[in-house]
């Protein structure tokens, strides 16, 4: 059974519902990509899966138990989250920030176990920020900063990772590096959910696609099932042809003029 799921989800701000009656199964051990136009509710949905967005209707469950019934630290050992944008305390250095990812694993006084040290070192290595360890976060480029945040979430070592547009700010090489990293995590048994804007990347790396529009799921399934000229038209309102990716054979979207 899938660990993380939502049923009849209603989410909103003020008196406006942004997502209504949404059902979602996050396949355990797979890479799920959420795609859809700006403001369709991707971030809102993702945030509801990590308890950041109040659930108006329906429920979000982890292991069959409502998320709201879980203890904060217990959830934090299962679900890791990277917001679309974040703020850091003034004067923090890269390593210091990555260490904050270990919060849920530490005791009250915050002593460090060998497992903590290994997790921090591995996370910095994996995200490619090991050489930046002693730099001030405020003195890094946008892309470097993004990778530090990713390292922090990796240090949390959660079986399920939810990332809101993790490739923003990254150059094309780093984008692919990150996607390969996530793909590797999935191959090692972890579950990844990411909001992605690049459909071709989503098709290459994701096992499962969820296409949203105006708060509803329009299509879901494997990239081949979901990415057709017709769905692209329906979801993004854009005419495109879909051809096989010359490298991987996965669907590739080429916009029409």
Contact footprint for other proteins (CB under 8 A): 47, 50-52, 72-73, 75-77, 79-81, 83, 86-93, 96-97, 100-101, 103-104, 106-114, 152, 156
Q: How many CA atoms lie within 13 A of 79 on its CB side?
A: 28
Q: 87 touches which of Mg ion, other proteins, ligand ATP, none (CB within 5 to 8 A by kind)?
A: other proteins
Question: Given the rule CB under 5 A, which of 37-45, 74-82, 184-192, 244-252 is the region that contacts Mg ion?
Answer: 37-45
Q: How far does Cα 31 stand from its chain's mean position?
A: 10
Binding span for ligand ATP by CB under 6 A among 34-42, 97-105, 217-225, 237-245 = 34-42
Number of residues this chain uses to bind Mg ion (CB under 5 A): 2
167 in contact with Mg ion (CB under 5 A)? no
Nearest-approach distance from CB 210 to Mg ion, in angstroms: 14
The torsion defined by the Cα of 73, 76, 82 and 86, in degrees rounded to 10, comes to 10
What are the b/e assignments for 146-179, b being 16+ CB within 10 Å? bbbbbbbbbbbbbbbbbbbbbbebbeeebbbbbb
Least gap, CB of 104 to other proteins (angstroms): 4
Q: Which of 6, 18, 162, 211 binds ligand ATP (CB under 6 A)?
A: 18
Shortest CB 76 distance to other proteins, Å: 3
Whether the CB-CB separation of 28 and 191 falls below 8 Å is answered with yes
Distances (CA, A) of 217 to 8, 36, 63, 111, 202: 12, 9, 23, 44, 16
**Cβ partners under 8 Å of residue 127, min gap 6:** 147, 148, 150, 151, 154, 178, 181
Which stretches of 4-73 are assigned E, i.e. beta strand? 4-13, 16-26, 31-35, 57-62, 65-66
Can you tell me which of 9, 11, 40, 43 binds Mg ion, judged by CB under 5 A?
Answer: 43
Q: Is 44 in the site for ligand ATP (CB under 6 A)?
A: yes
Nearest to 34 by CA among 153, 177, 206, 159: 206
User: For other proteins, which is the closer residue by CB, 153 or 196?
Assistant: 153
Does 112 contact ligand ATP by CB under 6 A? no
Give 24 or 129: the residue with its C-beta nearer to ligand ATP: 24
Residues that bind ligand ATP (CB under 6 A): 13, 18, 36, 38-44, 84
């Amino acid at each position: 059974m899938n660990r993380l799921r939502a049923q009849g989800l209603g989410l909103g701000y003020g008196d406006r519902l942004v997502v209504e009656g949404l059902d979602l199964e996050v396949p355990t051990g797979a890479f799920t990509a959420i795609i859809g136009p700006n403001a369709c509710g991707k971030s809102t949905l993702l945030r509801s899966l990590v308890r950041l967005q109040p659930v108006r209707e329906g429920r979000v469950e982890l292991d069959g138990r409502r998320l709201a019934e879980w203890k904060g630290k217990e959830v934090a050992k299962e679900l890791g989250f990277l917001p679309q944008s974040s703020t850091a305390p003034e004067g923090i250095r890269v390593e210091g920030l990555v260490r904050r990812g270990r919060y849920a694993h530490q005791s009250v006084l915050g002593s460090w176990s060998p497992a903590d040290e290994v997790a921090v070192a591995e996370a910095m290595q994996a995200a490619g920020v090991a050489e930046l360890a002693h730099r001030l976060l405020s003195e890094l480029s946008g892309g470097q900063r993004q990778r530090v945040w990713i390292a922090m979430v990796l240090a949390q070592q959660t079986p399920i990772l939810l990332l809101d547009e993790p490739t923003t700010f990254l150059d094309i090489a780093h984008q692919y590096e990150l996607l390969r990293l996530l793909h590797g995590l999935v191959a090692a048994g972890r579950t990844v959910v990411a909001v992605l804007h690049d459909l071709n990347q989503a098709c290459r790396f994701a096992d499962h696609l969820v296409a949203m529009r105006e708060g509803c799921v329009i299509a879901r399934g494997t990239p081949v099932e979901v990415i057709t000229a017709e769905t692209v038209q329906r979801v993004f309102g854009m005419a495109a042809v879909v051809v096989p990716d010359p490298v991987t054979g996965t669907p590739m979207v080429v916009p029409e003029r």
